[in-house]
Amino acid sequence: MGFESMWQALAPVGLDAKTGGYNRFAWDDADLACREWFGSAAKDRSMSVVEDGNGNLFAWWGDPDAGDAVVTGSHLDSVPDGGAYDGPLGVVSAFAAVDMLRTRGVQPRRPIAVACFADEEGTRFGVACAGSRLLTGALPPDQALLMHDRGGLSLAEVLHTRARDPRRLGPDPELLGGIGCFVELHIEQGRSLVHSGVAIGVATQIWPHGRWRFEFRGRADHAGTTAMADRCDPMLTYAMTALAANKQARLSDARATFGRVEVSPNGTNAIPSRVQAWLDARGRDEHVVSDLVGAIHRQAAARARRDGTQVSLSAESVTGAVAFDVALRDRIVTALGGVPVLDTGAGHDAGVLQAAGVPAAMLFVRNPTGVSHSPEEFAEPADCLAGIEALAAVLTELAA
């Protein structure tokens, strides 16, 4: 099953035929189908699959206990109505690169594994890279067990429904200690490679980024009988906060997004009692991000005083800047004959492993439009093939 047939086998899983987007969230039916797909791809290659206590999957070529493994892979879960490539390109390309090494008769002297990390997007439970953070200890298991989805189900309850034992969640130092390095191939979520006119790039660092939940509380009332002067409408406070986020981000060349809003009671003819809104904020360094969130919070509080509403803020998932291992990065750039290096504002499991001390690197595959987290996300087949070739060259360089 080469790249194309693996890609086609995965393509219908979690697909929304109306939008062309993907909905594959932690432990839902689409996620389980992705896990089955992973298992059959591994089985077709006589690779043994290990699922750690956090739901991360590893397909092994060689003895996992030998240590110093070269691990590659990515994730299969998506954002709501996400694209086909963010995550899956890295996992499918990893299996295709293993095929390429075997076709070429490469005999790795280190174990190689294809990884599929659980819940990278954090769509269902709110914490990005939950699987890799649990594996490395960056996310404590008791905190993870309290996470709940929008239907109010806790991670613990969901794991039980999927015949997983929540008590197995948590760091796995033995598994992590056996990983010598991790290389993640990913579609570029931007247009740097388009501008440089090449198909493959290597990551230098991941920007600091995070998610904060704003809660705006006001007073529910009748939309038709309440004079404007008599209202405490949290929607107004939220709306001004979203505009302030836009302005502050532009002023500091950062990124601020409110992509998710929940209104209660969400009635057309009722002034809301509460608005919850999630801010995704990112910037080139950590004080830019903290200053940005601070400025937005101050402006929200000022507006709340005018509106007679209350605002509270809680951090849900915060990630510091991560610079990838320089020696590994340079070795990969050289092995690829000299390709551009670029930073990214997108978080990845590779960043979590690097932050935990596992030398990590990322290969980016050109994205003609730069669009991601959208059904429009796309990479040219020739560039996907270039990605597999590059990953095969990197695995050969590192493992053989």
Query: If DSSP codes are grouped into helix, strand and coil, which group holds residue 92?
Result: helix
Least distance CB 355 / ligand HGY (angstroms): 14
Q: Residue 347 binds which entry of ligand HGY, Mn ion, none, with Cβ cut-offs from 5 to 8 Å by kind? A: ligand HGY
In the chain, beta strands by DSSP E: 15-16, 21-22, 48-51, 57-61, 69-75, 112-117, 179-187, 200-206, 209-217, 221-222, 255-264, 270-271, 274-282, 310-319, 322-323, 341-344, 360-365
Residue 388 · residue 3 · CB < 8 Å: yes
Under the binding rule (CB under 6 A), the answer on residue 283 touching ligand HGY is no
Q: How far is the CB of 144 from ligand HGY (least distance, A)?
A: 16
CB 347 within 8 A of CB 319: yes
Residue 349 binds to Mn ion (criterion: CB under 5 A)? no
Q: Considering beta carbons, is residue 126 or 178 the nearer one to ligand HGY?
A: 126
Please report, to the nearest 10 degrees, the dihedral formed by the alpha carbons of residues 67, 73, 79, 85 taken in order.
Answer: 180
* Of 186, 193, 184, nearest in space to 354 by CA: 184
Report DSSP letters for 226-238, one per residue. Answer: S-GGG---HHHHH
Nearer to ligand HGY, 239 or 321 (CB): 321
* 77 binding partner (options Mn ion, ligand HGY, none; Cβ < 5 to 8 Å by kind): none
The single residue among 90, 170, 347, 387 that binds ligand HGY, judged by CB under 6 A, is 347
27 SS3 class: coil
Q: What is the DSSP letter of 100?
A: H
256 binds ligand HGY (CB under 6 A): no
Q: How far is the CB of 137 from ligand HGY (least distance, A)?
A: 19
Q: Taking CB under 6 A as the rule, does residue 322 contact ligand HGY?
A: no
- For residue 379, give Cα distances in angstroms to 9, 12, 339: 18, 18, 18
Number of residues that bind ligand HGY (CB under 6 A): 5
Answer for which of 121, 184, 233, 377 binds ligand HGY (CB under 6 A) is 121
Selected from 128, 279, 356, 399, the binder of ligand HGY by CB under 6 A is 128
Cβ proximity to ligand HGY, 183 vs 240, nearer residue = 183
Question: For residues 390 and 200, is the Cβ–Cβ distance under 8 A?
Answer: yes
Q: Which is nearer to ligand HGY, 126 or 170 (CB)?
A: 126
The answer to whether 377 contacts ligand HGY (rule: CB under 6 A) is: no
Q: CB of residue 56 vs Mn ion: minimum separation in angstroms?
A: 15
DSSP 47: P
Binding positions for Mn ion, 67-96, rule CB under 5 A: 86-87
| Footprint on this chain of ligand HGY (rule: CB under 6 A) | 120-121, 128, 346-347
| Footprint on this chain of Mn ion (rule: CB under 5 A) | 86-87
